[in-house]
Amino acid sequence: MSIRKSALAALVVTLCASSALADDCRERFIEMYVGALERNYGRAHIVTEIKGQPKTENIFEIVAWDHNMTKVTVPAGSPWVLTHKGVMWQSSDEGATWAKVHEFDAEEARAMHIASVKAQADTASNVVCGEEELDGTTYETMSADLRNETGFKYDMANTYWIDRESGQVVKSTSHVKAEGFESFATQTWEFPEGLELPVVE
């Protein structure tokens, strides 16, 4: 075999290997993205910056797929929102009292959310897998471009930092763009033992 043919053969092998790695990375990303639907426990600090508006911050806590609470910390004095078994509650005094906002079909809402996330996962492109060290710990990283095609249409460029031991996403960023809208959000997760949320009757 000539040198030229040998080089061409080597290039083909390299390209095939790269393609296989890219396909494997995309499959792992989709598995992670859809798998996040099963996260039913934890606390996230979420910072959101919407273009043209002040930055907001909140603490999101979840103990079951149908039991979660959002505490808005910036701007100060914002109401808290509690969702439990198809009922949304709001508190203007940091959880001392709660007022019912509305009721909804929790199973239907969850089914619609699952379908939306799976549809987004199918649009994943430019997927990159790697690793990065944060505060002395090395995490697996995954990033991808996604698109939401149902209802409000928008594009996303998301990145995730994943704890290799637990498989949990401990940090994520999402850059969202739509017609007349742009935002950037960062979520930092922790998983404290004994986390409990109010149950309002």
pLDDT of amino acid 22: 74
Residue 145 tokens, joined: 């471009």
* Residue closest to 82 by CA, chosen among 55, 101, 109: 101
Instruction: Look up the pTM and report it.
Output: 0.86
Q: Do the Cβ atoms of 25 and 127 come closer than 8 Å?
A: yes
Domain boundaries, the chain: 3-77+118-190
Task: Please give the CATH topology (third level) of the domain spanning 3-77+118-190.
Answer: outer membrane lipoprotein receptor (LolB), chain A (2.50.20)
User: Between 15 and 27, where is the model more confident?
Assistant: 27
3 state DSSP class of 44: strand
Mean of all residue pLDDT scores within the chain: 92
Distance, in Å, from the CA atom of 90 to the CA atom of 30, rounded to the nearest integer, reads 34
> For residue range 58-101, what is the model confidence (pLDDT) as tens digits?
999 999 999 999 999 999 999 999 999 999 999 999 999 999 99
- Mean pLDDT value across residues 15-32: 78
Confidence of residue 11 (pLDDT cuts 50, 70, 90): very low
Strand order in the sheet with 125-134: 99-103, 87-91, 80-84, 67-74, 56-64, 42-50, 181-190, 169-178, 154-162, 137-148, 125-134
* pLDDT at residue 150, as a whole number: 86
